[in-house]
């Protein structure tokens, strides 16, 4: 696993954003490597000195980090060269999904200003993920940040994961701003059956509220990536959901069917929630065929390629972020490895090994 | 509650096809249509219609927006010019009786691009704002002027995405021509009318062996990904379907665009019967497609297709499949693609050029040097849609269909005939009737071929929705 939080000391009194540079020419917001030895590396910039323990400076070169005083260390917000940088803007959420990989907390620490600073100095042509918790609980701040960053940086894009519980007709005019063409909203829908969806997300009325958001997003010309996590409870409902997508949600850019992550709430409920898609792929195949038939692109996330029937393999994306991905020993010999998602770091090894058959 | 309009059409095998304005469809038995017209829909009917988006609750804003979106998806959005059909020469080294372009003789002067025309074409290419380009070289026989093709292709190097198609009779191959064919983004499109005897009779005469050798040579050199062929069929004397399919399959060619003689050029006089097609042609067409279906089922290692069937089938299910410019709606003229003739004249379609050459009517819209934002173009665009045609508005197939003004002018000299009296309409009514027969036929072999033609990964248990 690639560590995202590093122990560090700083003399600064307030949190600040900086880019760590081990080599090369420095920008005003950069912190330059001043010394490095076996125990760590020290960088210096206009906001002060930051000393990191147990790291090689070269591995951090170009990372945009949040430095926090008081022994809270350094957060690597935008790692140089990574395609999977995600800003966690809040840990509060108003849904309680049965399989939540990032269980919500009651408290919120507002760090939008710092995130905005980080985005403004992001690497050229980056796609920056925004996640939570539920980012649109702070919709106004979120949209403000997006508007300012994308106006200043025409090369950047955002991908925002949201439960879609907070958009309404009042947002349409704002979201029609052309900068939002560079924002993709990743929104989960678990079933076409309202009661089942509500049960999965732990909120009565969530399905109906989501439909209102979808109407607003459609009329705003927003880009939506629809997401469905596979569960024992919705597996057999997938074909009906596919029809629902083809009828009511044609405007989505793509539909991602996602295999479960063994973390958060799903960890303790694993046997009850996890679907072994290798032994029952039919409902998934039927769903993929139906939306593709109607001209809507669909992808499989977190489905190792060897566990998917040949015909559907091109749809299985290398979806797992680099910092939390692993492969099994037999995977070393597989010709599809570079195209494969692998497994989540926290996926049970025994189960992973059982399903693997190198191609 | 809002009931969105449905148009119905009998399915030949029984029952009714119901289609809404966005092209979403289902089949029902005849009793449903009776209940619909008598306003006696059952609870089951209502639940089905609601689920399928034909019946909307007043508070259902997503349903209303989704319907508008789906209707809009059916309309062509023509982008900036990125597709040019170029005729560097009208001369040809063959003399086919059905020649649609009224080709010029091999040694006739004055039928190639002048230096000024070439310069004007290149200047236009430089001015295009797009990052992708598609160029189709037509003729005449464009390989008589590999130098002109080369000049155009070289000038396109700046485009991120490039595609070139050479429509050639493959009568002659030489090093200059092969050097052009070798360009990776270039595709070869040729004619193959069937077995050697048929092809020779229609086209090549004594040179048939030479053509077949050349076709074999380019297939060996480039493979089927780069080479396509299509037959021209004399519908009064069509070749045996099995032999026709064999002649393609033997070359490893999998796409066959089965076309009757185009009522253009020399064919207007020498093949007068090609003005319209009747039941004999339609039967022949269906037999041909069904034989392909049977072959695909028997041999899963390759997928044969009739190209126009695939195009129409995709338009039924996949709105936005508008790159086939002969079938789309509206069908904007002189916007996203143009034809540049041998003398630099610009036409909105290849058929418009053919018709002008025949002296029937001048459908030119401008010149490559001076532009084509003309009153002639606007006049055509005012009528280039089926949206407001009273016959089309009642037709279940309107969302899938298109509008071809030039075809109407070619056959009838006017564009205001009742739609159902035109060959364009009859041809497409038949095509979509046939397609919906296939969609609702409960035969795994049919579903298998349809799914391949639709480019699906799997073969769904059903392609069409049914109201039980």
- Residues in A touching B453 (Cβ below 8 Å): none
3-state helix, strand, coil in chain A (%, to 5): 35, 25, 40
Cα A72 to Cα A9, A59, A64, distances in angstroms = 8, 20, 16
Chain B CA closest to residue A249: B66
For B386-399, what is each residue's pLDDT tens digit? 999 999 999 999 99
3-state secondary structure of A147: helix
For B253-272, what is each residue's pLDDT tens digit? 999 999 988 888 888 888 88
For A228-278, what is each residue's pLDDT tens digit? 999 999 999 999 999 999 999 999 999 999 999 999 999 999 999 999 999
- Residues 6 or more apart in contact with residue B240 via CB below 8 angstroms: none
Strands, DSSP E only, in B243-390? 255-256, 259-260, 305-306, 337-340, 345-347, 366-367
Mean pLDDT for all residues in chain B = 94
Whether the per-residue pLDDT at A99 is higher than 90: the answer is yes
- Residues 6 or more apart in contact with residue B242 via CB below 8 angstroms: B291
pTM of the entire predicted model: 0.93
Q: Could you tell me the residue ranges of all domains in chain B? A: 2-73, 83-317
Q: What is the pLDDT of residue B437?
A: 96
More confident residue, B177 or A54: B177
Q: What is the mean pLDDT of residues A119-145?
A: 96
For A73-88, what is each residue's pLDDT tens digit? 899 999 998 888 999 9
Share of chain B above pLDDT 70, in %: 100
Give me the residue label for tokens 């429509």. B167
Of A169, A218, A292, Cβ closest to residue B457: A292
As given in the structure block, the two tokens for residue B15 are: 């029952």
Of A250, A314, A315, Cβ closest to residue B69: A250
Nearest Cα of chain A lies from the Cα of B458 at a distance, in angstroms, of 6
Strands A8-10 and A5-6: unpaired
- Residues 6 or more apart in contact with residue B127 via CB below 8 angstroms: none
Query: Given CA atoms B357, B362, B363, B364 in this order, what sign does their dihedral have?
Result: positive
Of A219, A243, A290, Cβ closest to residue B65: A219
- Residues 6 or more apart in contact with residue A22 via CB below 8 angstroms: A33, A41, A57, A58, A60, A61
Chosen from A189, A292, A310 to mutate, greatest number of chain B CBs within 10 A = A292
| Chain A from 218 to 257: CB within 8 A of any B CB | 218-219, 243, 247-251
- Residues in A touching B69 (Cβ below 8 Å): 218, 250-251
d(CA B273, CA B3): 46
- Residues in B touching A250 (Cβ below 8 Å): 66, 69-70, 73
3-state secondary structure of A359: coil
What 8-state DSSP symbol labels residue B88? S
d(CA A293, CA A56): 51
A222 touches A172 (CB < 8 A): no
Cα B246 to Cα A69, B193, B242, B243, B284, distances in angstroms = 78, 12, 6, 5, 16
Q: What is the pLDDT of residue B124?
A: 97
Chain A CA closest to residue B457: A311
Helix runs in A202-304, H state only: 206-220, 238-248, 265-268, 270-273, 282-293
- Residues 6 or more apart in contact with residue B301 via CB below 8 angstroms: none
Predicted ipTM > 0.90: yes
d(CA B277, CA A325): 61
Q: What is the pLDDT of residue B206?
A: 82
Cβ of A289 and B459 within 8 Å? yes
Residue A309, class by beta-carbon neighbours within 10 Å (0-12 exposed, 13-18 middle, 19+ buried)? middle
Chosen from A243, A293, A303 to mutate, greatest number of chain B CBs within 10 A = A293
Give me the residue label for tokens 């036929």. B441
pLDDT-derived band at B215, boundaries 50, 70, 90: very high
**Listed residue (A232, A271, A262) closest to A100, CA to CA:** A262
Residue A314 touches chain B, beta carbons under 8 Å = yes
For B71-101, what is each residue's pLDDT tens digit? 999 999 889 999 999 999 999 998 888 888 8
Strands A64-68 and A73-78: antiparallel
**B168, β-bridge pairs:** none
Of A218, A219, A247, Cβ closest to residue B53: A247
The string of DSSP letters for B329-367 reads SS--SSSSEEEE-TTSEEESSHHHHHHHHTTS-----EE
For A160-211, what is each residue's pLDDT tens digit? 999 999 999 999 999 999 999 999 999 999 999 999 999 999 999 999 999 9
**A9, β-bridge pairs:** A51
Q: How many CB atoms lie within 10 A of CB B173?
A: 19
Strands, DSSP E only, in B214-254? 227-230, 232-233
Q: What is the largest CA-CA distance in chain B?
A: 75
Of B60, B318, B458, Cβ closest to residue A285: B458
- Residues 6 or more apart in contact with residue B249 via CB below 8 angstroms: B295, B302, B304
- Residues in A touching B303 (Cβ below 8 Å): none
- The sheet carrying B25-28 orders its strands as B6-10, B16-20, B25-28
Residue A171 touches chain B, beta carbons under 8 Å = no
d(CA B438, CA B316): 12
Cβ of A215 and B321 within 8 Å? no
d(CA B354, CA B344): 14
Residues of B near A (Cβ–Cβ under 8 Å) read 24, 51-53, 60-66, 69-70, 73, 317-321, 451, 454-461, 463, 465
Chosen from B19, B55, B65, B458 to mutate, greatest number of chain A CBs within 10 A = B458
**Listed residue (B159, B163, B164, B155) closest to B131, CA to CA:** B159
pLDDT-derived band at B184, boundaries 50, 70, 90: very high
- The CATH number of B83-317, from 3.40.50.300, 3.90.1640.10, 3.20.20.70, 2.40.50.100, is 3.20.20.70
Helix runs in A74-205, H state only: 112-120, 139-152, 172-175, 194-201
- Residues in B touching A247 (Cβ below 8 Å): 24, 51-53, 66
Cβ of A247 and B51 within 8 Å? yes
Cα B159 to Cα A141, B186, B455, distances in angstroms = 40, 14, 28
- What is the Cα B456 distance to its own chain's centre? 21
For A51-68, what is each residue's pLDDT tens digit? 998 888 989 999 999 999
Whether the per-residue pLDDT at B379 is higher than 70: the answer is yes
For B320-348, what is each residue's pLDDT tens digit? 876 788 899 999 999 999 999 999 999 99
Q: What is the pLDDT of residue B322?
A: 66
Q: What is the largest CA-CA distance in chain A?
A: 61
Residue A172 touches chain B, beta carbons under 8 Å = no
As given in the structure block, the two tokens for residue B23 are: 């092209």
A225 touches A187 (CB < 8 A): yes
User: Could you give the dihedral angle defined by the CA atoms of residues B326, B330, B332 and B337, in that order, rounded to the nearest 10 degrees?
Assistant: -40
Residue A35, class by beta-carbon neighbours within 10 Å (0-12 exposed, 13-18 middle, 19+ buried)? exposed
| Chain A from 174 to 213: CB within 8 A of any B CB | 211-212
Nearest Cα of chain A lies from the Cα of B23 at a distance, in angstroms, of 11
Which residue segments constitute the domains of chain A, with CATH numbers given?
5-75 (no CATH), 86-301 (3.20.20.70)
């Amino acid at each position: 696993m690639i560590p995202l939080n590093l122990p560090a000391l700083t003399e600064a009194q307030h949190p600040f954003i900086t880019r760590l540079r081990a080599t090369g020419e420095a920008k005003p917001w950069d912190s330059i490597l001043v010394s490095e030895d076996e125990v760590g590396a020290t960088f210096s910039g206009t906001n002060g000195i930051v000393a990191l323990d147990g790291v090689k400076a070269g591995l951090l070169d170009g990372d945009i980090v949040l430095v926090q005083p008081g022994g809270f260390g350094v957060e690597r917000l935008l790692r140089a060269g990574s395609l999977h940088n995600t800003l966690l803007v809040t840990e509060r959420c108003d849904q309680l999904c049965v399989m939540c990989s990032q269980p919500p907390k009651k408290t919120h620490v507002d760090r939008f200003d710092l995130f905005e600073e980080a985005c403004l100095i992001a690497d050229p042509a980056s796609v920056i993920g925004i996640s939570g918790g539920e980012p649109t609980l702070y919709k106004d701040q979120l949209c403000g940040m997006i508007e300012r960053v994308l106006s200043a940086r025409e090369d950047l894009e955002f991908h925002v994961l949201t439960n879609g519980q907070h958009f309404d007709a009042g947002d349409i005019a704002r979201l029609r701003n052309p900068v939002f063409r560079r924002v993709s909203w990743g929104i989960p829908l678990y079933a076409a059956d309202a009661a089942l969806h509500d049960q999965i997300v732990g909120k009565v009325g969530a399905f109906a509220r989501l439909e209102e958001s979808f109407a607003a997003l459609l009329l705003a010309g927003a880009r939506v990536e629809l997401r469905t996590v596979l569960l024992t409870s919705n597996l057999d409902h997938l074909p009906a959901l596919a029809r629902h997508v083809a009828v009511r949600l044609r405007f989505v850019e793509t539909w991602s069917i996602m295999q479960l992550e063994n973390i958060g709430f799903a960890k303790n409920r694993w046997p009850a929630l996890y679907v072994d898609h290798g032994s029952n792929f039919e409902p998934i195949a039927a769903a993929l065929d139906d939306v593709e038939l109607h001209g809507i692109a669909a992808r499989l996330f977190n489905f190792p390629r060897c566990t998917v029937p040949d015909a559907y393999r091109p749809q299985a994306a290398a979806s797992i972020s680099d910092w939390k991905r692993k492969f099994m020993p037999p995977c070393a010999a597989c010709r599809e490895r570079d195209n494969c998602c692998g497994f989540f770091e926290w996926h049970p090894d025994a189960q992973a090994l059982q399903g693997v058959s190198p191609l | 509650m809002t009931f969105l309009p449905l148009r119905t059409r009998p399915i030949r095998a029984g029952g009714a096809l119901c289609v809404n304005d966005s092209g979403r469809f289902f089949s029902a038995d005849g009793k449903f249509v009776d209940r619909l017209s008598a306003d006696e829909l059952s609870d089951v009917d209502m639940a089905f219609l609601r689920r399928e988006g034909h019946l909307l609750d007043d508070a259902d804003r997503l349903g209303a927006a989704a319907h508008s979106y789906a209707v809009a998806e059916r309309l062509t959005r023509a982008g900036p010019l990125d597709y040019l059909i170029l005729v560097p020469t009208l001369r040809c080294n063959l003399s086919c009786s059905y020649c649609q372009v009224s080709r010029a003789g091999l040694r006739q002067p004055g039928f190639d691009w002048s230096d000024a025309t070439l310069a004007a074409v290149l200047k236009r290419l430089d001015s295009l704002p797009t990052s992708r380009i598609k160029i189709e070289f037509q003729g005449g026989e464009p390989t008589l002027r590999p130098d002109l093709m080369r000049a155009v292709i070289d000038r396109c190097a700046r485009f991120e995405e490039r595609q070139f198609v050479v429509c050639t009779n493959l009568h002659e191959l030489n090093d200059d021509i092969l050097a052009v064919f070798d360009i990776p983004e270039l595709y070869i499109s040729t004619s193959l009318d069937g077995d050697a005897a048929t092809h020779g009779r229609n086209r090549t005469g004594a040179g048939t062996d030479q053509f077949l050798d050349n076709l074999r040579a380019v297939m060996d050199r480039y493979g089927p990904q780069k080479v396509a062929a299509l037959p021209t069929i004399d519908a009064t004397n069509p070749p045996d379907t099995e032999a026709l399919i064999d002649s393609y399959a033997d070359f490893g060619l999998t796409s066959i665009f089965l076309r009757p003689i185009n009522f253009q050029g020399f064919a207007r006089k020498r093949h007068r019967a090609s003005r319209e097609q009747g039941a004999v042609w339609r039967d022949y067409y269906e037999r041909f497609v069904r034989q392909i279906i049977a072959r695909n089922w028997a041999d899963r290692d390759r997928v044969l297709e009739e190209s126009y069937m695939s195009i129409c089938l995709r338009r039924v299910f996949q709105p936005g499949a508008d790159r086939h410019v002969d079938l789309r709606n509206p069908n904007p003229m002189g916007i996203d693609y143009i034809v540049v003739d041998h003398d630099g004249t610009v036409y909105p379609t290849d058929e418009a050029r053919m018709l002008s050459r025949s002296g029937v009517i001048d459908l030119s819209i401008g010149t490559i040097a001076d532009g084509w934002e003309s009153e002639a173009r606007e006049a055509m665009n005012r009528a280039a849609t089926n949206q407001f045609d009273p016959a089309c508005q009642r037709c279940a197939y309107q969302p899938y269909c298109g509008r071809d003004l030039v075809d109407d002018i070619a056959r009838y000299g006017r564009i205001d005939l009742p739609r159902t009296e035109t060959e364009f309409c009859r041809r497409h009514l038949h095509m979509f009737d046939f397609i919906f027969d296939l969609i609702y036929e409960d035969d795994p072999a049919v579903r298998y071929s349809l799914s391949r033609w639709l480019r699906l990964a799997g073969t769904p248990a059903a392609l069409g929705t049914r109201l039980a």
